[in-house]
């Protein structure tokens, strides 16, 4: 990983408002299909300054409510109705068969998840861009909770695996984005933390019912009011977007 060069407070977070599409690593992250942090769900398109100027008079869906709502509209266009009630994407291929989780597979997911959350927390602490510091200690952090859960599994006699190759690849990908493409990193940050509080919690509940005798893991618990924690982060994202010109117009998906 390249060293991080300190950046002055006056330097804008996003200095290359070019048209870009996020690429995904070749390996698919996570062993549980419905829990995968798939890059396909987080591919965000940032239009050029020229296009932004031409379309400035026409607001995109969600734009009036802030950058986070705009991202949510784009995310829904990448979901099917099976994945989210507001999903707009047409499903491709045959529906997935009945999913039966296993403790071993779930442990792999938790280990890979901890690596990803560790990575994001370190990125925000190092703050290669000063604006990253806004997202320290938000209350949404999951590393400490996951550490407690993995320790609990040890007490139940389970061996804790090493992070998988896809998990390591994704964590390295986030590190690269944090230094080279902060727009993309913020989109991944939003997707990982906010998705876990929504569909992630529902999946966790189903897994607990099937294989953990309804044991609720710390991964799915937060200190304080979760709605308030999420709102605080939304406000931070919107504020940083306005101050640093982070806001992209996702014209490809909003057309």
Q: Is a pLDDT exceeding 90 seen at residue 20? A: no
**Region for residue 181 given its phi and psi (left: phi exceeds 0; alpha: psi -120 to 50; beta: otherwise):** beta
- The better pLDDT of the pair 229, 247 is held by 229
Q: What share of the chain has pLDDT > 70, as a percent? A: 62
Could you tell me if 37 and 192 are in contact, meaning their C-beta atoms sit under 8 angstroms apart? yes
Give every CB contact of residue 134 below 8 A, 6+ residues apart in sequence. Answer: 236, 239, 240
User: What is the per-residue pLDDT across 91-122, written as a single tens digit (0 to 9) for each?
Assistant: 676 666 677 899 999 999 999 999 999 999 99
| Greatest pairwise CA separation for the chain in angstroms | 61
Judged on CB neighbours under 10 Å (0-12, 13-18, 19+), 139 is middle
Q: Decide if 183 contacts 248 (C-beta within 8 A).
A: yes
Give 163 or 184, the one with higher predicted confidence: 163
DSSP 86: T
Return the SS3 of 45.
strand
């Amino acid at each position: 990983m390249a060293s991080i060069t300190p950046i002055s407070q006056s330097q804008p977070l996003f200095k290359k408002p070019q048209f870009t599409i996020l690429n995904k690593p070749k390996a698919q992250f996570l062993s549980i299909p419905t829990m995968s942090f798939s890059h396909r769900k987080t591919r965000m398109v940032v239009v050029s300054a020229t296009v932004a100027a031409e379309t400035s008079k026409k607001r995109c869906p969600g734009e009036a409510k802030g950058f986070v709502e705009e991202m949510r509209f784009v995310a829904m266009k990448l979901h099917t109705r099976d994945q989210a009630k507001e999903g707009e994407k047409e499903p491709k291929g045959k529906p997935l068969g009945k999913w039966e989780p296993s403790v071993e597979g779930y442990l792999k997911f938790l280990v890979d998840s901890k690596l990803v959350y560790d990575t994001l927390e370190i990125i925000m602490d190092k703050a290669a861009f000063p604006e990253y510091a806004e997202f320290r200690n938000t209350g949404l952090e999951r590393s400490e909770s996951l550490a407690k859960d993995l320790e609990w599994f040890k007490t139940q006699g389970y061996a804790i695996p090493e992070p998988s190759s896809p998990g390591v690849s994704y964590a390295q990908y986030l590190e690269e984005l944090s230094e080279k493409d902060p727009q993309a990193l913020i989109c991944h940050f939003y997707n990982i933390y906010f998705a876990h509080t929504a569909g992630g919690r529902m999946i966790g509940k189903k897994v607990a019912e099937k294989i953990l005798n309804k044991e609720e893991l710390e991964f799915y618990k937060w200190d304080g009011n979760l709605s308030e924690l999420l709102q605080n982060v939304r406000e931070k994202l919107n504020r940083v977007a306005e101050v640093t010109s982070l806001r992209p117009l996702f014209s490809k998906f909003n057309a």
